Amino acid sequence: MAKIAFLGLGVMGYPMAGHLKAAGHDVTVYNRTSSKAEAWVAEFGGSWAPTPREAAAGQDFVMACVGNDDDLSAVCLGENGAFAGMKAGAVFADHTTVSERITKTLYAKAGETGISFVDAPISGGQAGAENGVLSVMCGGDEDAYARVEPVIQAYSKICRRIGASGAGQLTKMCNQIAIGGLVQALSESLHFAEKAGLDGRAVVEVISQGAAGSWQMANRHETMLDGHFDHGFATDWMRKDLKICLEAADQTGASLPVTALVDQFYKDVQKMGGGRWDTSSLFARLRKLD
């Protein structure tokens, strides 16, 4: 059993922290809205703290799953940040999707105080978090990763260190680049089927068994055809992630023409009022164009 703090109880963090408690760990949670932390304790047990610093004090591991670069900085740094409360030798594992820049900054600052920082962004969505089968891609020092990996197993189906600090975030960018292109292609396929007068479900039943098959096709085609998008990973968050991808591409010299185009399509979805819709709402954009 380890002593763990979990910072951020959104749609991902709430069940992830629950899996840690179910695995027998001593868990203290923090959330910006304290009522959610209180609700988590009522459901799972454990304890909650009013600041990241108090939650992190004396813990072996501190896990975070917040919104963006600024949110992560806020829970890590400052008088009430987690770094100020963590003991020497503790490991901070960040599950937020953020930029490589802030990751390397926090890695360096953590090292100055004798703690370790592992970037560990996740993929698998809300369902993956709830079922404890997330994919976790990590960057950081080998010894820190080796210590935190058994803890992460509580909510993952695969957890792998890709390389040095920032490698986890770069891998998550690869993930989001692939998803954006896949969802747009699936949307166009279903749109074409409809315009051609075909039964979309029948089409998917056949083509999903061949080379066209994907997780997106298997798990999203039904809701896409039904026009249901009030679930899953929000378009607003996807645009945040794709912005990170495109900025990194400028720095590395990578060419991402499809990603840049899909990002603009998601901007159209936002203009339609779909900022909180699932990323599969690219299909709704095509329907609107009819």
Which amino acids are annotated catalytic? 172
Residues 93 and 5: their CA atoms lie apart, in Å, by 10
Residues 161 and 202: their CA atoms lie apart, in Å, by 40
Tell me the helices (H) and strands (E) count for the chain, helix number first: 14, 9
SS3 of 145-201: HHHHHHHHHHHEEEEEEEECCCHHHHHHHHHHHHHHHHHHHHHHHHHHHHHCCCCHH
> Residue 275, Cβ neighbours under 10 Å: how many?
16
Q: Which two tokens mark 132? A: 């404890």
